[in-house]
Amino acid sequence: MRYLVTGITGFVGPHLANILIAEGHEVSGLVRGSSGREQDIRDIVPEDHFRRMSFFYGDLLRRDQLDEILQKHKFDGVFHLAAQSHPPTSFAAPQYTLELNTIGTANLADAISRAQPECRLMFCSTSEVYGAVPESAGPIDENFPIQPINPYGVSKAAADMYVRERAASLDRPFFTTRAFSHTGPRRGRGFSISSDAYQLIRIEKGYQEPVVNVGTLSSRRVVMDVRDCVRAYYALMENFVPGEAYNIGGDHVYTMGELLDTMTELTNLTGKVTRRVDPALVRPIDIPVQLCNSSKCRSLTGWAPTVPIEQSLNDLLDYWRDKIR
């Protein structure tokens, strides 16, 4: 099989590429510009995998570029991961977030539909489309109403519905995934768990005073490892129902404070650091808790998360140890 991965230079893309290549598939990545950004994924993608990859250059907001790529090159499936995926940034740049995430996704779906109507499309949506569901409502399944509370969630909700509408209206093999919180190596330091890991390693190396700037530590999330998340993406690409959405989430709920406690222990900094709430790291509108029901995906594919949270956090810390020199 030959797969195209958008967002290949992001957090999740390199991990997905590793799984696909290990399974014997051809992998191409879509990169916005030819400045060499694809070289950056070598921190996750080993040399033998990287040499087997190819790259195309194009912007999701340029329909002509997408048409050219898809008319010249045939793919069995497209994993659409590219996005402006940081909720706080979406408050500062709502129009850009909507353009890239919604219009960019529509452009890609339409280009695939025109050039390769048999090509599968997985759109990476998000649990943020559900908004702030009260804990009393129980774990969130795919039948919960879509009611996002930030511009990022709005942009993803619109794209999510568009992809599923195209699948139904045009009989295309398109589906969406709604991943809940995931972390691990390469997670950007603008996101809460990775921000804490980044700061702890800076403290460990003596580059920062022993104070960790934090956001809302009481927020509760089901957190899984990014490598478990991409296994679910691959399993669903192999076996899905067109037009359907699938939740993907971990088994355990943690507060952000509990995860910071674990990383503080892993770095032997317990009792040696203090925490300071930074208003810049607090979301204007927070989601206090997210509980996930991913039984639909699990029943269809047999997928389940396997990576312990301690391994995820330790690997994330090691990632920043290698990066911070």
Q: Which helix (H) or strand (E) holds 261?
A: helix 256-266
The DSSP letter of residue 67 is H
Dihedral angle over CA of 161, 162, 168, 171, nearest 10:
-150
**48: nearest Cα among 18, 8, 84:** 18
State the chain's maximal CA–CA distance in angstroms: 59
Task: State if pTM tops 0.75.
Answer: yes
User: How many whole angstroms separate alpha carbon 270 and alpha carbon 224?
Assistant: 24
Q: Are 109 and 162 in contact (CB under 8 A)?
A: yes
Q: Are 184 and 315 in contact (CB under 8 A)?
A: yes
Q: Are 247 and 142 in contact (CB under 8 A)?
A: yes
pLDDT in tens, the chain (325 residues): 999 999 999 999 999 999 999 999 999 999 998 888 899 999 999 999 999 999 999 999 999 999 999 999 999 999 999 999 999 899 999 999 999 999 999 999 999 999 999 999 999 999 999 999 999 999 999 999 999 999 999 999 999 999 999 999 999 999 999 999 999 999 999 999 999 999 999 999 999 999 999 988 999 999 999 999 999 999 999 999 999 999 999 999 999 999 999 999 999 999 999 999 988 888 777 788 999 999 999 999 999 999 999 999 999 999 999 999 8
Residue found under tokens 């995931």: 182
Q: Are 248 and 177 in contact (CB under 8 A)?
A: yes
Q: Are 310 and 258 in contact (CB under 8 A)?
A: no
Helix, strand, coil percentages in the chain from 3-state DSSP, rounded to 5? 45, 20, 35
Query: Under 8 Å CB-to-CB from 95, ≥6 apart: which residues?
Result: none
**6: nearest Cα among 95, 101, 148:** 101
- In order of start, what are the domains of the chain with their CATH numbers? 2-183+225-249+292-306 (3.40.50.720), 192-220+253-290+313-323 (3.90.25.10)
